[in-house]
Amino acid sequence: MLAEWLDQGLEGRAPSRSEGRIAGGRFRLLAPGVLELAPDTPATGARACVLSVGIHGNETAPMELLGEVLARLEAGLLRLGAPLLVILGNPEAIQRGQRCVATNLNRLFRRDLDQAGDEPDRARVLMAEVDAFYARHPGRERLHYDLHTAIRDSRFPRFVVEPFTATPTPAEQWRWLAGAGIQAVLHQHRHSWTFSHHSKHYHGAAAFTLELGRALPFGHNDLAPLAPMGRMLEALLEGRVPATGEPGTMAFFRVEHELLRHSEAFRLCFPDDTPNFSEFPPGTLLAEDAVAGETRVGDTALSVVFPNAQVEIGARAALLVVPSPPPG
Ligand SMILES: O=C(O)CCC(=O)N[C@@H](CCC(=O)O)C(=O)O
Ligand SMILES: [Zn+2]
């Protein structure tokens, strides 16, 4: 039923059952693409976990990975030990195999959102479900992993974005992420209104956007490098402490500057297929914009993450980042 729920969501079919039993607890469909797993007896120290995939409809590897974990739970190979909210982010975009339908859902997670349209409506549903889920688990530590894949190759194929908020990230997170095969961490420098930012900013959750390789069509993903990540998700689901790694194995960066597209006549001055975290020396011309003029690297080398000249006007066209010391 659980793996079927995911498949039906991907295909736009209504699920056959809206609640029932699984090993160690119950499942309940709360809204289209929103599944709650409630353990009979939460394990000591279990986190209230939100796991989201498909916020961008063409990022398929996380959906396949989560599908495997849910199938193992359903087959009785795992036993539920933690409260979980499992989210299929943008079903309409997933069915179309597109990043989004009209606008980027992952910029809309703010409580004062007043836009109309499919993605704004979906953001409001998801924010309400996450708010209600965390409210059902007062006193329990909160976690949100929002799983994505990136448009381009990357010097670090598996990395996380740590949203900017006042809430410090618990030190254990760096050990868990290293243990799950994450290779780099990027600290945001300001509020970004992404889904993981919502959970961290409004709920004090340990929350990240996880980039797990490149976005490819269903069936073309190599899930082998994501095996440690799958094991971490299984540990969280069972309420166990995940395997840990050495945070020093990860590269740490912080955002120095956000490059915005201000006009139609905007272009990035490096090839489209430039991998994430490529470094440019001082003086390099990075972008030209009819309104903002030239953007050049200053005195310190900058690396480029998520370059995309095709974004909407006013949206982020790249993050310009520098190495930063590991936390703590
Ligand atoms: O590869 C790209 O250019 C985009 C990949 C992607 O969807 N990234 C997320 C990052 C969210 C964050 O900054 O936390 C996004 O752009 O929404
Ligand atoms: Zn994405």
SS3 content of the chain, % helix, strand, coil (to 5): 25, 30, 45
Q: Are residues 313 and 170 in the same domain?
A: no
Q: Are residues 281 and 245 in the same domain?
A: no
Question: Known binder of ligand: residue 238?
Answer: no
Domain count, the chain: 2
d(CA 196, CA 53): 11
CATH number at residue 277: 2.40.50.630
Residue 225: closest CA among 65, 58, 56: 65
226-258 per-position pLDDT tens digit: 999 999 999 999 999 999 999 999 999 999 999
Q: How sure is the predictor about 165, in pLDDT bands with cuts at 50, 70 and 90?
A: confident
What's the CA-to-centroid distance between 201 and ligand 1, angstroms?
18
| Contact 106 CB / ligand 1 (< 6 Å) | yes
d(CA 171, CA 87): 26
Residue 223: closest CA among 57, 76, 8, 68: 68
Q: Which of 306, 312, 316, 319 to mutate for ligand 1's pocket (most ligand atoms within 8 Å of CB)?
A: 306
Question: Known binder of ligand: residue 191?
Answer: no
288-319 per-position pLDDT tens digit: 999 999 999 999 999 999 999 999 999 999 99
Give the active site residue among 211, 234, 256, 264: 211
d(CA 229, CA 177): 8
What's the CA-to-centroid distance between 160 and ligand 1, angstroms?
10
Q: Quick check: pTM over 0.90?
A: yes
Assigned token pair, 228:
């440690």
What's the mean pLDDT when you consider all of the chain?
Answer: 96
Report the complex ipTM.
0.97
What's the CA-to-centroid distance between 209 and ligand 2, angstroms?
8
Residue 13 has what pLDDT?
A: 78
| Contact 133 CB / ligand 1 (< 6 Å) | no
Q: Calculate helix-pair angle for 2-11, 61-74, nearest 10 degrees.
A: 150
Q: Are residues 180 and 63 in the same domain?
A: yes
Ligand 1 atom with least separation from CA of 107 = 17
Q: Are residues 134 and 277 in the same domain?
A: no
Ligand nearest to the CA of 55: 2
141 has catalytic annotation: no
Question: Known binder of ligand: residue 256?
Answer: no
Q: Is 109 left (phi over 0), alpha (psi -120 to 50) or beta?
A: beta
Per the listing, tokens 């063409």 go with: 58
Ligand nearest to the CA of 57: 2
For ligand 1, atom 5, name the residue with the nearest CA: 150
287 in a structural domain: yes
Domain limit, last residue, from 249, 284, 315 = 249
Residue 46: closest CA among 245, 244, 241: 241
DSSP string covering 69-120, please? Answer: HHHHHHTTSS---S-EEEEE--HHHHHHTSS-SSS-GGG---TT----SHHH
Q: Where does residue 258 rank: exposed (0-12), middle (13-18), buried (19+ CB within 10 A)?
A: middle
- Three-state DSSP at 315 gives coil
Mean pLDDT along residues 210-238: 97
Task: Order the strands of the 293-296 sheet from edge to edge.
Answer: 266-268, 285-289, 293-296
Ligand nearest to the CA of 214: 1
Ligand 1 atom with least separation from CA of 305 = 3
Q: Are 190 and 254 in contact (CB under 8 A)?
A: no
What's the CA-to-centroid distance between 196 and ligand 2, angstroms?
12
What's the CA-to-centroid distance between 153 and ligand 2, angstroms?
13
Q: Are residues 71 and 184 in the same domain?
A: yes
Query: Around 290, how many Cα atoms within 13 Å sit in the side-chain half-sphere?
Result: 6
Q: Are residues 233 and 265 in the same domain?
A: no
Domain membership of residue 230 as a residue range: 2-249
